[in-house]
Amino acid sequence: MLATAACDDAADSHGHAFATCFDPWQGLELGGGMLVDSAQLTTTGGFTGGANAALRFRGERESKSKAESTWLSLHRIAATEVRPIGGRFGLSLLGYTGIFRRHVREGTLLLPFNPPVTVPFPLDMTFMAEVLKYERRVADGNGSDWALEPVRLSFLLDPLRSASSRFHLALGVTAAWRLTQNDNVLIHEVTPLSAATLFFDFESEDGLWVTRGILSGGWSLQVGTQGMTLRARGEVEVARTLFAINDQPLSMYLKGSGAWRDAGARGTSEWSASVGLNLRLFSRR
Amino acid sequence: MLLTLALLLGANEVVPPPNGAPKTHLDYHRPVACIPLAPTKSVPSGEFRVQCDGVQKKCFAAPTRVLVDGVEGTEQLQRVIEYCGSAYDETMRGIRENWPIEEAIAEAPPGWFRDERGRVMQVNFDLGRRVYFGGAWAPYYRPDSPPNAVAPGGSGTGFIPGRARVEFGGVATTLSENGRQMHRFHFLEATGWLGPDPINHRFEASVIRYETSSRRQRAPLWLTTFIGEPRRFDIPLNIGWAAEAGRFEALGGRTFITFAELDATLDLWNSEDLDSFIRVRAGPALEMDVEGKGAYLRPAVALEGDFTLDRDGFHHFTASAVGEKLIFEPADPGRGVSPQRLRLKAGYEVILVAINDYPLTLVLDARANWRDDVPRLKGWEFSGNVGLRFSFWAPARHHSTQISERPTFSPPPPREAPPPANAPLPAESRAAPSTTPDEELISDTERLIRAARKKLEESRAPSP
């Protein structure tokens, strides 16, 4: 039946071509599914629904200033998630996420001796930025609570050093600034490189399988108060493309997320698990 | 003189079909030669339209004029191939080789039939292209009031047998060159129902309505599965659109004007010739209630079917179910908010007779309407229509074929492809004489025909 090899278009018996390879980090993603979370279990005890949308882009370009190095980048814009939380409307909107990995053919550390000494450095450098993350949970407080994280920056090292942006594994430190409003009281919170972040993204050659996740935790300082608070959050997702409609892939995902004193403006702890479908438009490779 | 011609043409004598078999019809899609042959009792002029069949090695000759009392008259044949040459390959070969010549009937274009006398008549009609007018008996029944009584402030009429319908309008279709897209135009269609009381009157009219439907070669929607080996499944969606401008409807003291309507259509099924279809149509319209002095939105959804049941377009069946809702309409104490309309219709039309090739059809249809937008006519209304419709134009259908009592000709033998322009000539060709054997044959036959024609003209010339 298939007329061509792995990552080219295939053709059916009538000669009509169709795509068999996709880029999971490319296109407009629209999805929804069922989820169960800790809050839901304590209130109604059943499943609820959720919907998500995001725009993803992948980039790759050779460095102009440093020979033998490549910038591999992943971008996510307007990542929106809507779901009921505590029986009321809940929204999470992340304006922009950018992951920039500089992959070098031969990684080295230059030691400033005389003469200079280079030693092998088997890690790629990665910079991750999350900008304008807004969370709103109507069920929290008197209904006016919100949280806004203007910026969250992570400096990561990638031990895999894959030449492809389909394989990322990075670990490093994180700094962040966050504003929360609880019962009309505005609070500034700063994470001064006192948190750690683990990020990974693995995709199959044809883009049908993908698993990715981000785990971040550390100590944050509420400005004007003494002491720091330990907070952590994480999300892991596995997705498999099952169908494509007009070459636009539809994948089933299984996602788990959790937060330790870091959910919503109230900084609550929670977990959730969801299963659903994601339609990704314009992601044909 | 006739004897001379016959002798000149050798054995080219036209004989009736063997054993009283019906006459063959000449093929409209092949060249016809107009040449003189030996005169016959029915064709004393000896002028014939001739085609020869190289497979049967037989020629067929038809008179060039309509026969009257078994003898050719003065009326020329209508709707024959305009260009009638003096000789074509197969005809010349037939004459030259003295193939038997059989009496035949001249050719007729697709959708037309020529009888034994040579008269031509249309037997295939496209009722999708016509200008029509008609009338019908159109009784109706409203179940919401006693018979023959008008309820105060209400509808009702009960059963009204004495009502008539008059109608006129035009429809046209065009088919794309590849035959895969049809455009339908309805223009100036109007229908009025007239009864004994103004409450029985209805009027519907439309300035112009357009629809298009298509048969796509490539499915606009396909599904690929990645469970096991990737497979593609095509979902053939024949999507089109429709639009209407200037629709009027008057009933029960209310008048509605639709300025414009734009619909998306999906052909659930359509026939290969696109004349028949089952379609879903949905879209918004901008409508005005004249008495209510306000414009509003009128979305509509419809399921429509149109079927041409036979090859020659004599039998037609139509059915439709249309739902409409008025949104943001002007307030009216006599009706609720966002009133609705439901129109159900099924109809059958059959050609009874054609008058000068214009069809007269019998029209039967039944309708059931429910609506609550007209305060005096809320609820169900059932009507039937039985009448006649006369149509002008109504040409042969787009896919009509030649009509004849039996097959005319054997299929033409395959022709050899010409050699490429730069191909080297064979040795004998390089030394060829100035005329080829074929050209020699043509010139010989033409000389023969010219000589016969000259003798015929001389015989007709008045004696000094």
Check CB contact under 8 Å for A10 and B225: no
Question: Nearest CA to CA, how far is B225 from chain A (Å)?
Answer: 4
**pLDDT attached to residue B428:** 39
**What type of residue sits at position B109?**
P
Tokens of B205: 């009219």
Record: contact B224-A244, CB cut-off 8 A? yes
Using a CB–CB cutoff of 8 Å, tell me whether B225 touches chain A: yes
Calpha distance B442→B86 (Å, rounded): 10
One domain, residues B142 and B105: no
Regarding whether B101 and B10 lie in a shared domain, the answer is: yes
Cβ-based burial of A67 (10 A; exposed 0-12, middle 13-18, buried ≥19): exposed
**Contact criterion met (CB below 8 Å) for B359 and B344:** no
Q: Is A142 touching B (CB cutoff 8 A)?
A: no
A279 touches chain B (CB under 8 A): no
How far apart CA B270 and CA B239 sit, in angstroms, is 11
- Helix then strand count (H, E) for chain B reads 4, 28
Does some domain include residue B186? yes
Q: B53-91 burial, b for 16+ CB within 10 Å, e for fewer?
A: bbeeebbbbbbbbbbeeeebeeeebeebbeebeebbebb
Which CATH number fits the domain that encloses residue B249? 2.40.230
- B312: three-class secondary structure by DSSP: coil
Rounded distance, CA B114 to CA B52, Å?
A: 19
Same domain, B49 and B164: no
CB contact under 8 A, A245 and B227: no
- Statement to judge: residues B89 and B71 lie in one domain: yes
Does one domain contain both B191 and B307?
Answer: yes
Amino acid at A157: L
Residues B243 and B298 grouped into a single domain: yes
Question: Measured between alpha carbons, how far is B224 from A105 in angstroms, rounded to an integer?
Answer: 38
In this predicted structure, what is the pLDDT of residue B422? 47
Q: Domain boundary residue among B361, B393, B425?
A: B393
As a whole number of angstroms, the distance between CA A240 and CA A278 comes to: 10
Peptide bond into A115 cis (omega under 30): yes
CB B335 within 8 A of CB B328: no
The reported pLDDT for the residue numbered B89 is 74
A248 contacts chain B (CB < 8 A): no
Q: Which DSSP string do the residues of B250-281 spell out, in sequence order?
A: EETTEEEEEEEEEEEEEEEEE-TTSSSEEEEE
pLDDT at residue B96, rounded to an integer:
83
Structure tokens at A79: 């990542």
Residue B460's nearest CA partner among B5, B138, B146 is B5
The token duo for B347 is 């109809």
pLDDT for B449 equals 60
Q: What is the pLDDT of residue B345?
A: 98
Cα–chain center distance at B108: 16
Which pLDDT tens digit goes with each residue over A71-123?
999 999 999 999 988 878 899 999 999 999 999 888 777 788 878 788 888 89
Residue B110 near residue B124, CB atoms below 8 Å: yes
Helix (H, G, I), strand (E, B) or coil at B460: helix
**H-helix or E-strand containing B456?**
helix B437-460
Q: Which of B164, B65, B167 is closest to B119 using CA atoms?
A: B65
Residues of chain A with pLDDT under 70: 1-6, 43-45
Residue linked to tokens 């010339």: B461
Reported CATH class of domain A25-281: mainly beta
B229 CB within 8 Å of a chain A CB: yes
> Dihedral of the CA atoms A174, A180, A185, A187 (nearest 10)?
10
In a domain, B419, yes or no: no
Split into its structural domains, chain B has a count of 2
For B415, residues 6+ apart whose C-beta sits below 8 A from its C-beta are none
Pair B98, B18 in one domain: yes
Of B220, B221, B223, the CB nearest to A243: B223
Assess whether B176 and B152 both reside in one domain. Answer: yes
Contact A242 B221 (CB under 8 A): no
Q: Is B219 found in the same domain as B269?
A: yes
> Do A16 and B234 count as a contact with CB atoms less than 8 A apart?
yes
Cα(B265)–Cα(A268) distance, integer angstroms: 52
Cβ within 8 Å, pair A244-B229: no
Q: Provide the pLDDT for residue A64.
A: 80
Say whether A243 and B229 touch across the interface (CB within 8 A): no
Regarding whether B302 and B191 lie in a shared domain, the answer is yes
Q: Nearest to residue B113, comparing CAs of B105, B121, B125, B103?
A: B121
pLDDT string in tens for chain B (464-residue length): 333 444 445 457 899 998 888 999 999 988 899 988 889 999 999 999 999 988 889 999 999 999 999 999 999 999 998 888 776 777 888 888 889 999 999 999 999 999 999 999 999 999 999 999 999 999 999 987 544 444 444 445 788 999 999 999 999 999 998 888 999 999 999 999 999 888 899 999 999 999 999 988 788 888 999 998 999 998 888 999 999 999 999 999 999 999 999 999 999 999 999 999 999 999 999 999 999 889 999 999 999 999 999 999 999 999 999 999 999 999 888 888 999 999 999 999 999 999 989 999 999 999 999 999 999 899 999 999 999 999 999 999 998 877 764 445 555 444 444 444 444 444 433 333 444 444 454 455 556 566 666 665 665 555 43
Domain that holds residue B24: 2-122+402-410+439-459
Q: For chain A, give every domain's residue range.
A: 25-281
pLDDT at residue number B419: 45
Are A31 and A51 in contact by the 8 Å Cβ rule? The answer is: yes
Q: Is A282 on the interface with B (CB under 8 A)?
A: no
Per the CB < 8 A criterion, the answer to whether B38 and B31 are in contact is: no
